[in-house]
Amino acid sequence: MAPITIDKVTKVYPNGFEAVHELDLDVAEGEFMVLVGPSGCGKTTALRMVAGLEDISDGTLRIGDRVVNDVSSKDRDIAMVFQNYALYPHMTVGENIGFALKLRKLPKAEIKRKVNAAAAILGLTEWIDRKPGQLSGGQRQRVAMGRAIVREPSVFLMDEPLSNLDAKLRVQMRAEVARIQRRLGVATLYVTHDQVEAMTMGDRVAVLRAGVLQQCDNPQVLYDNPKNLFVAAFIGSPAMNLFESTLAEGATSALVGSQRIQLGDAVLAAKPGLKAYANSPVVLGIRPEDLPVAGDDEPMLPGATGVLEGDVELVEALGSELLVHFTTDARRVEAEGAKEADAEGLNSGTLARGGEGVARVEPRARLAAGSRARFNLNPLRLHFFDATTGQAITS
Amino acid sequence: MARSRRRVGWHRYFNGLYLSTALVAVFVLLPIYWLVVTSFKTPGAVGSSPPQYFPNPFSLVNYKVAFQQNSFGHYIVNSAIVAVISTVLVLSIGTLAGYALGRLPMRGKFPILVILLMISVFPAVAVVAPLYLLLRDIGWLNSYQALIFPYTAFNLPFAIWILRNYMLGIAREMEETARIDGASPLRTVWSIILPQAMPGLFTAGIFCFTACWTEFLMALTFNSSNNFRTIPVGIALFGSQFTVPYGTIFAASVVAVVPIAVIVLVFRKSVVSGLTAGAVKG
């Protein structure tokens, strides 16, 4: 029996707003499941329904083998970590961690033992008599975690627990939270708007948009085979380049702006569905790392069949790689709502007009702003989407 | 180097801000100084010309007169009973009402708050006469409850406003966490909300206590018997038709101010301190 089974769960607010629409999601034993999406996509509402802080309008929610739609929060055997930690400021770290046990009327000695054990796991032992006000952000975050783990629940719920931390600490705590979760082996439902967090922490990632589940799979599958434009644009940083395109010559080549890209037969063999789109518009998706720079003496890298040219607008040197912002005369496609999640990449919309794109290339490529760049294209690494429905053309 | 440091030091103590602060302090403290100094003068020296800036000779006779010839000690007890009970009532009702208005889903919150605000600025003079008739009819004139109930009623709105604002400042997640932890609503209010609302409770309590301690109009009107007189009325009625014993009045006033000053000094930190600091954001 899965620890959490969300079965066609819907949330409609009294004002008629549907925050979550028929969400289906299973969290397996010991699994770290991340709910990700732009703000307002319903991920927090979904989590709060699991926590019992919001009523479920329709559908069934099971925790273990119990239907808990009408079970109160405290009887659901869950623990929740909030974005702002919600530590009790007038209690010490130890009292904060032990409060739930005290309410359960456990013997004092046992509370103490469990609190100390939790504090040891989190490296909080020396702070146990401090008040939250005397702790740093990372320590407070750990106290909030401690309050959750001390109860030994069957499910952890976490609502953006890292977003109040500064960038460096967030990366550190990201690993730590994942480590603790793996060590305890408790099924976890984790909400975040940060796709990097989702990718790095989740065993599986569920992408939500406007209350509707878009795709749920392990991070690499989401990255390699996004089901639709939204997931393609949302997952990955910098985001996938999406251009309007037309398939020509019986779908053996693609027009991107004024450029023609040879696809070759391998693409059609892998994605025979493309034939149906011959001479019609599609959206062409290219991951930034799938745009290697073509050398002067070696115009075509192995596997590449086509070349995309662009005018370099800006080169960001990150040391290990270069982010090359370029423009083409093709029209860029935006997946609505997916943009804001791209926190780490430069928001290219402010930089250039028209068909701008980003390429992630090796650091020794000699490219400067104002020059013309030639990128190799491996057609098997291209993504195609239906221009009207946004669904990926996969087969 | 040394010179520039001196100039910095000079600027630190003689800039406009310090000067204006000092002026305000003098403006506020001078009457209090005069009150205290005069209370220690002999009756003859009180109105002397030129005025004495320091009591000479130093005398406690005014205090003796206040407590021995006038039953001032009795007034203090009356005032304390009325003010303490009113404050306790105001805080208990105000906490629950403030929580309800701040947090619970409720119809007509806004109208209730507006009405409360209107009541708190309503002139007491306007209700003294009808209240007098009412209290007379139920036989409550000359009693503690004749003051306790009106005081509670008139101080509640302000207290509710203060407490409600404090409740609003306490993160909702705090309550949700407590709920998931298994705390009942009453337990949540008692263990989680109240400790965090302490600064609000102190603030509301001090305002309420001071208002009850110094209230004059109702105390004068409702309790004409000497047995139930409170401090302000008692002081005002010192003396007789032909004499105004300024020295005694000043001495009694000093005694009346002391409890308030002590309360404010003791609880100053609780009122000011950010008790909720660090609770929520990282």
pLDDT tens digits, one per residue of B110-164: 999 999 988 888 888 889 999 999 999 999 999 999 999 999 999 999 899 888 8
End of a domain among A210, A234, A258? A234
- Bridge partners, A78 (sequence order): A155
Identify all chain A residues contacting B277, using CB atoms and an 8 Å cutoff: 89, 133
Percent of chain B with pLDDT over 70: 90
Three-state SS at B139: coil
Q: What is the pLDDT of residue A335?
A: 75
Domain shared by A251 and A228, yes or no: no
Domain shared by A58 and A111, yes or no: yes
Identify all chain B residues contacting A138, using CB atoms and an 8 Å cutoff: 282
Mean pLDDT of A94-102: 94
Q: How confident is the model at residue B272 (pLDDT cuts 50, 70, 90)?
A: low
Domain shared by A109 and A186, yes or no: yes
Question: What's the total number of domains in chain A?
Answer: 2
State CA A179 to chain mean position distance: 18
Q: Is the pLDDT of residue A28 over 90?
A: yes
Q: Which of A80, A87, A103 sits opposite B183 (nearest CB)?
A: A103
Domain that holds residue A291: 241-386
For B169-190, give the DSSP string: HS-HHHHHHHHHHT--HHHIII
Q: What is the pLDDT of residue A345?
A: 41
C-alpha angle with apex B228: B226 to B231, nearest 5 degrees? 85
Identify all chain B residues contacting A87, using CB atoms and an 8 Å cutoff: 278-280
Instruction: Parse chain B into domains and list their residue ranges.
Output: 74-171+198-237
Query: Does the beta carbon of B186 lie under 8 angstroms from any beta carbon of chain A?
Result: no
Pairwise pLDDT comparison (B166 vs A372), residue with the higher score: A372
Q: Measured between CA atoms, how close is B235 to chain A, in angstroms?
A: 43
* B23-to-A86, B2, B32 alpha-carbon distances in Å: 44, 31, 15
Domain shared by A327 and A210, yes or no: no
* Residue of chain A whose alpha carbon sits nearest to that of B187: A103
Using CA atoms, how far apart are residues B146 and B132, in angstroms rounded to an integer? 9
Q: How confident is the model at residue B232 (pLDDT cuts 50, 70, 90)?
A: very high
Q: Is the pLDDT of residue B275 over 50?
A: no
Q: Which fold has domain B74-171+198-237?
A: MetI-like fold (1.10.3720)
Q: Is the pLDDT of residue B280 over 60?
A: no
Q: Which of B178, B182, B277 sits opposite A133 (nearest CB)?
A: B277
Q: Is the pLDDT of residue A337 over 70?
A: no
Give the largest CA-CA distance in chain B: 81
End of a domain among A214, A234, A254? A234
Domain shared by A339 and A360, yes or no: yes
CATH number (domain holding residue A28): 3.40.50.300
Domain shared by A84 and A200, yes or no: yes
- Residue A395 in domain: no
Tell me the pTM: 0.79
Domain shared by A196 and A249, yes or no: no
Q: How confident is the model at residue B6 (pLDDT cuts 50, 70, 90)?
A: low
The 10 Å Cβ neighbour count of residue A205 is 28
Q: Is the pLDDT of residue A349 over 50?
A: no
Count CA atoms closer than 13 A to B63's CA, side-chain side: 12
Q: A74, A156, A170: best mutation site toward chain B, by most B Cβ within 10 Å?
A: A74
Q: Is the pLDDT of residue B5 over 60?
A: no
Structure tokens at A27: 């969290």
Using CA atoms, how far apart are residues A372 and A312, in angstroms rounded to an integer? 6
Give the ipTM: 0.78
Domain shared by A226 and A246, yes or no: no
For A56-74, give the DSSP string: -SEEEEEETTEE-TTS-GG
Q: What are phi and psi of B70, to 5 degrees?
A: -110, 145
Using CA atoms, how far apart are residues A262 and A245, in angstroms rounded to an integer? 13
Domain shared by A41 and A95, yes or no: yes
- Residue A393 in domain: no
The 10s digit of each residue's pLDDT in A141-187 is 999 999 999 989 999 999 999 988 888 888 888 998 999 999 999 99
Q: Is the pLDDT of residue A269 over 70?
A: yes
Domain shared by A266 and A195, yes or no: no
Give the largest CA-CA distance in chain A: 78
* A46-to-A66, A292, B180 alpha-carbon distances in Å: 18, 41, 16
In which region does residue B117 sit, left (phi positive, over 0), alpha (psi from -120 to 50) or beta (all else)? alpha
Mean pLDDT of A222-241: 92
* Residue of chain A whose alpha carbon sits nearest to that of B196: A90
End of a domain among A234, A254, A275? A234
Three-state SS at A382: coil
Residues B70/B248, Cβ–Cβ less than 8 Å: yes
Q: Is the pLDDT of residue A55 over 90?
A: yes
CA A35, A37, A43, A47 dihedral sign is: positive
CA B104, B106, B110, B116 dihedral sign is: negative
Using the beta-carbon criterion (under 8 Å), do B282 and A147 form an inter-chain contact? no
For A174-226, where are the E strands, in sequence order?
A: 187-192, 204-209, 212-217
Q: What is the pLDDT of residue B88?
A: 97
Domain shared by A58 and A165, yes or no: yes
CATH number (domain holding residue A294): 2.40.50.140
Q: Is the pLDDT of residue A340 over 70?
A: no
Q: Measured between CA atoms, how close is A199 to chain B, in angstroms?
A: 24
Query: Does the beta carbon of A87 lie under 8 angstroms from any beta carbon of chain B?
Result: yes
Query: Does the beta carbon of A83 lie under 8 angstroms from any beta carbon of chain B?
Result: yes
For A247-278, give the DSSP string: EETTTTEEEETTEEEE-HHHHHHH-GGGGGGB
- What strands, in cross-sheet order, belong to the sheet with A241-248? A259-262, A253-256, A241-248, A281-286, A383-386
- Residue A59 in domain: yes
Mean pLDDT of B12-26: 83
Q: What is the pLDDT of residue B146?
A: 94
- Residue A269 in domain: yes
- Residue A263 in domain: yes
Would you call the peptide bond into A292 cis, given omega within 30 degrees of 0 as the criterion?
A: no
* DSSP 8-class letter at B106: -
- Residue A119 in domain: yes
Query: Does the beta carbon of B192 lie under 8 angstroms from any beta carbon of chain A?
Result: yes
Domain shared by A68 and A174, yes or no: yes
Residues A336/A229, Cβ–Cβ less than 8 Å: no
Task: Kindly give, in sequence order, each residue whose CB lies less than 8 Å from that of residue A47, ignoring residues fewer than 6 positions away.
Answer: A35, A157, A159, A189, A191
